[in-house]
């Protein structure tokens, strides 16, 4: 049986130090970690907050994504693609359903489209010059409206492999917007050609 929030918290505390700090993660030992272990410490583990605070857009009438359902670099009847600015990696795109859905209530037809769109976007991002991989993330804690992240990992940056890429993105200087705009337009045009829809 799954632990309740209090049991989970107490279980985690069982390995903390006197200040309720967990040990450094095993990931910080990896050679791709953006942090050196010396001097690094984990924040204090805070007790659970229940009920959890509402995410942005729990009420569809206040949903930022719904208010911008007709905006994007690519759109079709059911989906829209946007470019996220002020990032450090070469390109970050976000795919949103145009109607208000979370992952758990996404209709099967839209879910099938999501799978196909994810594959197409991955191909088109990885076809850009000097891009090694397209990383795909669905987190869902910030906004209730489904949004899927696509991060372009720069070629040759082996330190940015895997799950640390989003942390490296936050540490790197801002990538030139004009280059990212051009790459985003290339991906949008390729998506029109391979999947349909229209460039925004």
Same domain, 71 and 133: yes
Quote the CA–CA distance of 42 and 33 in Å, as a whole number.
15
Tell me which residue has tokens 């583990």.
45
Q: Residue 155 contacts by C-beta under 8 Å, 6 or more apart in sequence?
A: 130, 131, 132
Boundaries of domain holding 173: 60-199
HEC letters along the chain = CCCCHHHHHHHHHCCCCCCCECCCCHHHHCCCCCCCCCCCCCCECCCCCCCCCCCECCCHHHCHHHHCCCCCCEECCCEEEEECCCCCCCEEEEEEECCCCCCCCCCHHHHHHHHHHHHHHHHHHHCCCCEEEEEEECCCCCECCCCEEEEEEECCCHHHCHHHHHHHHHHCCCCCHHHHHHHHHHHHHHHHHHCCCEEC
C-alpha 172/C-alpha 187 separation (Å) is 23
Question: Is 142 found in the same domain as 112?
Answer: yes
Co-location of 65 and 4 in the same domain: no
**What is the count of structural domains for the chain?**
2
Residues 179 and 81 in one domain: yes
Instruction: List, for residues 32-59, the tens digit of each pLDDT value.
Output: 999 999 999 999 999 999 999 999 999 9
Regarding whether 159 and 67 lie in a shared domain, the answer is: yes
Q: What's the CATH code of the domain at 95?
A: 3.30.428.10
Residues 119 and 38 in one domain: no
The answer to whether the beta carbons of residues 21 and 41 sit under 8 Å apart is yes
* One domain for residues 82 and 46: no
pLDDT at residue 1 in the model: 86
- The answer on 70 and 99 residing in a single domain is yes
Q: Does one domain contain both 146 and 64? A: yes
Summarize pLDDT for 150-178 with one digit per residue, the tens: 999 999 998 999 999 999 999 999 999 99
Q: Are residues 77 and 39 in the same domain?
A: no
Whether residues 23 and 119 share a domain: the answer is no
pLDDT at 156: 96
Longest CA pairwise span in the chain (Å):
59
Considering the domain architecture, whether residues 141 and 195 belong to the same structural domain is answered as yes
pLDDT of residue 146: 98
Low-confidence ranges of the chain (pLDDT < 70): none
Enter the pTM of the model: 0.93
Chain position carrying tokens 């795909």: 136
């Amino acid at each position: 049986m799954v632990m309740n929030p209090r049991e989970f918290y107490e279980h985690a505390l069982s390995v903390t130090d006197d200040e309720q700090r967990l040990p450094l993660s095993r990931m910080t030992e990896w050679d791709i970690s953006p942090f050196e272990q010396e001097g690094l410490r984990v924040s204090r583990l805070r007790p659970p907050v229940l009920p959890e605070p509402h995410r942005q857009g729990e009420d569809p009438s206040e949903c930022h994504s719904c208010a911008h359902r007709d905006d994007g670099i690519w759109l079709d009847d059911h989906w829209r693609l946007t470019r996220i600015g002020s990032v450090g990696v070469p390109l970050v795109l976000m795919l949103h359903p145009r109607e208000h859905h979370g992952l758990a209530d996404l209709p099967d037809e839209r879910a099938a489209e999501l799978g196909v769109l994810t594959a197409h976007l991955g191909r088109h991002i990885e076809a850009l010059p000097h891009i090694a991989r397209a990383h795909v993330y669905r987190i869902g804690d910030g906004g209730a409206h489904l949004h899927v992240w696509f991060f372009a990992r720069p070629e040759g940056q082996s330190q940015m492999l895997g799950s640390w890429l989003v942390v490296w993105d936050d540490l790197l200087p801002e990538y030139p917007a004009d280059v990212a705009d051009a790459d985003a337009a290339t991906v949008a045009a390729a998506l029109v050609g391979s999947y349909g829809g229209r460039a925004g």
